[in-house]
Amino acid sequence: MTPKRTVINVVSGKGGTGKTLLSCVLADSLGNLPDAETIVVDLDVFVRGLTSLLYYHRAERLRIADAEKLCVADLFVRKLKSRDSIAGNLAIAKYRSFDVMPAVSTINQVLEYDDIVPNNHREARDIVQNLLASIPEAYRFIILDSRAGYDELISATHELSDVSICVEEQDPISRITSDNLIAQLGTSSKTPLFRLVNKARGITALEQLEESPRGVTDLGVIPFDMDVLNSFGASNFWEEISRTLYRSALIHAWNRLSAKLDLRVDLPTNRISPVGSDWLESKAGMLSWRDRVYLIYGSFLAIAGLGYGLYGEQIIHIIRGEPLRAMSLFMGGVGLISTLLVFLRIFRK
Ligand SMILES: Nc1ncnc2c1ncn2[C@@H]1O[C@H](COP(=O)(O)OP(=O)(O)O)[C@@H](O)[C@H]1O
Ligand SMILES: [Mg+2]
């Protein structure tokens, strides 16, 4: 039997807590698992942070979806409440390991605010229900990137989801707005609601993430990460984020959620650094793909050139007669060159 799909609603009391970033990185992590097709829906139609994050830097991709396909905004503007009107016609774009339903079909599309706000709770519920029912069944996970605060739409998405994750920051304002939202959502629906602290200060090591969270509805903390902030929306974003403590922390939080909901979809945490050191690896992660190719070719050329230059014919005898010595020469060369390159890159930054 195929497992039922899970709808995850990402909400927050105040804006800017990191819902959009979290939705994308979680989608990518889940989407990389076998049999865990994942789609993220940009429900924050006005701000459309997710649609911008994923597509804005691709200048040639100002148009995200075909004009005749339906984006999230179309559903709200046209108040599409019946499945017949949209099934098979949703704008769904492929993105790395997951799919995206964008808020709008062109990134700079102007919308009338009145048109995109549902008139009442009933209408909001009907539209979201229709949207969820029209998303192909092949998806194991649907992540809803909601807007901040409380309104009819948030209330409806919470009701229709399997779980809501409230993302908050560590400051008192964020905590209070989050308490308010959680209390309000709790009055209208029994959907489980969990808290996740983002942009936490003072976390520098993976071990700190393993400490148990404070309450049963807490999923833990995700550290503030300067590299994440800097690369948000940039073309090297995915390359940078994959190695961060941010991603590891998110995986920890997800695995807690998976255990609490008995989803049995765990993300792998035991990633072993291919260079033997997390620190060195995260620094080497700054290298672009071009630099990595140079590094590998450069190392081989340097070793061959220096080896022959320094030892002449002798190098052939060493390789033939003393393979251990040859290997140690080779490793020494690779180590020297990669260390030099990594340091050069760090200082240049
Ligand atoms: N853990 C983090 N460390 C550093 N910056 C973060 C972190 N989480 C989110 N951000 C940054 O905060 C800003 C707001 O994030 P975003 O995901 O757009 O929030 P929201 O969708 O809740 O409005 C973005 O610039 C993002 O890069
Ligand atoms: Mg957002």
Q: What is the mean pLDDT of each run of 10 residues along the chain (349 residues)?
A: 86 96 96 95 91 70 79 89 78 92 87 82 94 95 97 96 97 95 94 96 80 83 87 78 88 96 90 53 60 76 80 81 84 81 68
Q: What pLDDT shows up at residue 282? A: 55
What is the DSSP code (8-state) at residue 63? B
Query: What pLDDT, in 10s, does the model give residues 216-273?
Result: 899 999 999 888 888 877 777 887 788 788 999 999 999 999 999 999 999 998 654 5
Closest atom of ligand 1 relative to the 44 alpha carbon: 21
pLDDT for res 69: 92
Question: What is the whole-number distance in angstroms between the Cα of residue 221 and the centre of ligand 2?
Answer: 19
The residue contributing the CA closest to ligand 1 atom 12 is 18
Residue 61: what pLDDT?
59
Nearest ligand 1 atom, CA 200: 1
Q: Which ligand is nearest to the CA of 21?
A: 1
CA distance 336 to 329: 11
d(CA 59, CA 233): 12
CA distances from 65 to 94, 100, 225, 291 (A): 11, 10, 32, 34
Q: What is the pLDDT of residue 66?
A: 83
In this prediction, residue 80 carries a pLDDT of 79
Expressed in angstroms and rounded, the spacing between residue 17 Cα and the centre of ligand 1 is: 6
DSSP notation for 71-139: -HHHHHHTT--SHHHHTT-B--EEETTEEEE-S-SBTT----HHHHS-SSHHHHHHHHHHHHHHS-TT-
Name the token pair of 64: 């995200």
Neighbours of ion ligand 2 (CB under 5 A): 19-20, 44, 49
Ligand 1 site residues (CB inside 6 A) read 12, 15-21, 49, 198-199, 222, 224-225, 228-229, 232, 246
